[in-house]
Amino acid sequence: MESDDKNDRKSSYAKDSLTLGGTVMLGTGVMIGAGIFALTGQMAQMTGVLFPLAFLAAAVIVSFSSYSYIKISNAYPSAGGIGMYLHKAYGNRLPTAFNALLMYFSMVIAQSFLARTFGAYTIQLFGGDDTGLMIPVLGVSLIVAAFLVNLSGNRWVQGVASFIGILKIGGILIFGLVGVWIADSLAVDFSNSRETGTVGNFLGATALGILAFKGFTTITNSGSEVKDPTRNVGRAIVISIAACVVIYTLVGFAVASNLSLAEIIETRDYSLAAAARPALGEYGVWFTVAIAMMATAGGILASIFAVSRMLAMLTEMKLVPHRHFGMPGSIQKHTLVYTVVLGLVLTAFFDLSRIAALGIVFYLIMDIAIHWGVLRYLREDINANAWVPVVAILLDLLALGGFVWVKLNTDPFVIGVAVVAMIVIAVAEQIFLKRTSEARDAGGDESHEGHH
């Protein structure tokens, strides 16, 4: 039993299995899938016609944030990505486990967000969904399909994600260029900004926009599987963010130029398809829906790939409990199953705006912990300038504060859920780490057996 158990825990990361191009496609796959298709309308609802500028503000924040990730990944390339980075900073302690799990849950939430977005767009081909039942059904089906592809291994994931990535990036660029070209004018009517133009609302929309860029962290989770990771991880992050800035800005102005603010808000879950209708007619809607289906499918594929590996690394570091539940295969296969099951539950029972809200709160808190870890513990080891993480922390706090303020006024329930979830994670992890430490002190390897 002991030897089987040891074999089960061995990593099966495929060194040098991801090229620079494939890594960029994995990153942009997550970023573009979440970013444009559902967040555009939600950001418009929060900050009015200023939403294209909120995308740009989010890009500025993420540019400062990416510095810490690039510096750490250059020094310590790892398939555990953020889990390993937190461990480098905080060791086998609660901050590592707590923040790594926040990142894990924010990534699972991103999968559910993508899945429901897939459903919201796909159903437009059939005239909408008055019952509201088909969107989660379609989303759940997509997660199951992505799970099956992920079981096929790295080469399949990279091949499928790259193919989908090329198609969707080309398609979105066509949508943006044609939408801007056909629009009556690019003059956005700022007179309609109403109270949504307040600083708090703009910061809240900027926080949502960060969700559109946070896919760059997927790249760090693939660290030891990337060819020449000390050079290519950082390069892939920079290329992914730059590409998304161009695409988001273009699409934001295309939507704002073809729909009124009221129309963008009304169609917030599928605003790109709605914007295509006046510009390009029904064929434009079909084209946009097809791109949305590819983008969200590619995003889920890439996200499941990365997040299951991160949880496997945390498990191997004995920072989170793990049970086999009678499943055969390696821990990575088990974490893939856990990730998919959790994503299915969220997709079935939470709507898009609440999924996004949970995701951004968890992500920003974890992001602040990464920058603090660099400042406090890793700065000399990784040769980082202090001022960049300091600015990143301040910008994160601004965005988080604005977002929480808006949600407390409009949907306090979701902030309550986020706070309760974080308390549960912290308490459960503290108990687990205490027991693991006691078992280790008491004589070792039986502790591992006891947590299965």
> Mind listing the pLDDT tens digit for each residue in 105-114?
888 888 888 8
- Give which of 268, 336, 244 is closest to 117, Cα–Cα: 268
More confident residue, 42 or 221: 42
* Long-range Cβ contact pairs of 425-434 (< 8 A, separation 24 or more): 425/98, 425/101, 425/102, 425/105, 426/94, 426/98, 429/94, 429/97, 429/98, 429/101, 429/319, 429/320, 430/94, 432/97, 432/320, 432/321, 433/92, 433/93, 433/94, 433/97, 433/319
Residues forming a β-bridge with 67: none
pLDDT of the residue at 216: 81
> Mind listing the pLDDT tens digit for each residue in 163-213?
777 777 788 878 888 877 876 555 555 444 444 458 889 999 999 899 888
Burial string for 409-422 (b: 16+ CB within 10 Å, else e) reads: eeeeebbebbeebb
Considering 126-140, 199-213, 321-335, 347-361, the range whose residues carry the highest mean pLDDT is 199-213
pLDDT of the residue at 121: 86
Quickly state the pLDDT bin for 98 (edges 50, 70, 90). Answer: very high
Angle between helices 82-90 and 51-75 (to 10 degrees): 60
More confident residue, 62 or 316: 62
pLDDT of the residue at 280: 73
Considering 3-7, 337-341, 421-425, 448-452, the range whose residues carry the highest mean pLDDT is 421-425
Residues forming a β-bridge with 226: 18
pLDDT, the chain, mean: 79
Q: Are 164 and 149 in contact (CB under 8 A)?
A: no
Is the predicted pLDDT of residue 412 greater than 90, yes or no? yes
Is the predicted pLDDT of residue 2 greater than 50, yes or no? no
Quickly state the pLDDT bin for 393 (edges 50, 70, 90). Answer: very high
Q: How many Cα atoms within 13 Å fall on the side-chain side of residue 380? A: 2
Angle between helices 39-47 and 271-316 (to 10 degrees): 110
pLDDT of the residue at 300: 80
More confident residue, 43 or 194: 43
Section 342-369 average pLDDT? 87
User: How many beta carbons lie within 10 A of that of residue 329, not counting itself?
Assistant: 13
> Mind listing the pLDDT tens digit for each residue in 281-324?
788 888 888 888 887 877 787 677 777 777 877 777 777 776 65
pLDDT of the residue at 421: 93
Considering 8-12, 16-20, 30-34, the range whose residues carry the highest mean pLDDT is 16-20
Section 416-431 average pLDDT? 94
Q: Are 432 and 320 in contact (CB under 8 A)?
A: yes
CA distances from residue 17 to 85, 109, 185, 206 in whole angstroms, order as listed: 21, 27, 47, 35
Q: Are 116 and 376 in contact (CB under 8 A)?
A: no
More confident residue, 263 or 60: 60
More confident residue, 153 or 246: 246
Is the predicted pLDDT of residue 449 greater than 50, yes or no? no
Angle between helices 352-373 and 199-213 (to 10 degrees): 80
Section 8-31 average pLDDT? 65
Q: How many Cα atoms within 13 Å fall on the side-chain side of residue 370? A: 31
More confident residue, 182 or 133: 133
Percentage of the chain exceeding pLDDT 70: 81
> Mind listing the pLDDT tens digit for each residue in 314-337?
777 777 776 655 565 566 677 778
Cβ contacts of 345 within 8 Å, gap of 6 or more: none
Considering 266-270, 415-419, 432-436, the range whose residues carry the highest mean pLDDT is 415-419
Percentage of the chain exceeding pLDDT 90: 19
- Give which of 242, 248, 240, 216 is closest to 65, Cα–Cα: 216
Is the predicted pLDDT of residue 78 greater than 70, yes or no? no
Q: Which two tokens stand for residue 116?
A: 């429901």
